[in-house]
């Protein structure tokens, strides 16, 4: 009798714990195609104004001085008003590729190749490559997301490429 009561209580607690855990909202982790437009490649040239080195994605905020989209070049009158958020892979993945937070101080000038958000009213892009003024280039995307050239081409620098 005592054993069956213990099993019943243990089972009820397990079901309760699982229901609480499954109720937690799913965070905003997504596949590339859910948020970004593979048919809208772009290049942003500008200065880093903010860096978010957080999971599940890093974000580099860039005051854009020049942008190329759809084969057309745009030069904003006021770069400080044209700040784009560029999504990168997780901080852990970027560090393994040789790109640390210290590599991208505020004020750094960068060239970012990536893809615009599906909602073209947002100033948001998924970064594929980031290039520094000295020519160092890093793959900053997330692998296996469905993005064009998402790392399946093994361009990750984990095997000994550039380091900052």
What are 103-150's pLDDT values in tens digits? 999 999 999 999 999 999 999 999 999 999 999 999 987 655 555 654
Structural domains of the chain, ranges and CATH numbers in brackets: 33-159 (2.40.50.140)
Tokens of 77: 């009158």
Q: How far apart are CA 145 and CA 109, in angstroms?
A: 27
Name the percent of the chain lying above pLDDT 90: 52
Note the pTM of the prediction, 2 decimals: 0.72
pLDDT digits (tens, 9 = 90+) for 69-106: 988 999 999 988 999 999 999 999 899 888 899 999 99
3-state secondary structure of 61: strand
For residue 26, is pLDDT > 80?
A: no
> Model confidence over 35-54: pLDDT tens digits?
889 899 999 999 999 999 99
């Amino acid at each position: 009798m005592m054993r069956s009561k213990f099993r019943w209580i243990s089972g009820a607690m397990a079901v309760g714990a699982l229901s609480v855990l499954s109720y937690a909202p799913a965070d905003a982790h997504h596949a590339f195609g859910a948020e970004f437009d593979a048919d809208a490649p772009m290049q942003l040239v500008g200065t880093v104004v903010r860096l978010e080195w957080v999971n599940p994605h890093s974000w580099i905020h860039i005051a854009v001085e020049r942008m190329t989209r759809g084969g057309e070049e745009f030069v904003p009158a006021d770069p400080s008003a044209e700040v784009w958020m560029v999504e990168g892979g997780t901080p852990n993945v970027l560090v393994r590729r040789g790109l640390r937070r210290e590599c991208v101080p505020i004020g750094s000038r960068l060239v970012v190749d990536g893809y615009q958000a599906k909602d073209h009213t947002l100033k948001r892009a998924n970064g594929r490559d980031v290039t520094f003024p000295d020519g160092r280039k890093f793959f900053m995307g997330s692998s296996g997301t469905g993005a064009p050239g998402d790392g399946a081409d093994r361009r990750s620098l984990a095997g000994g490429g550039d380091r900052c």
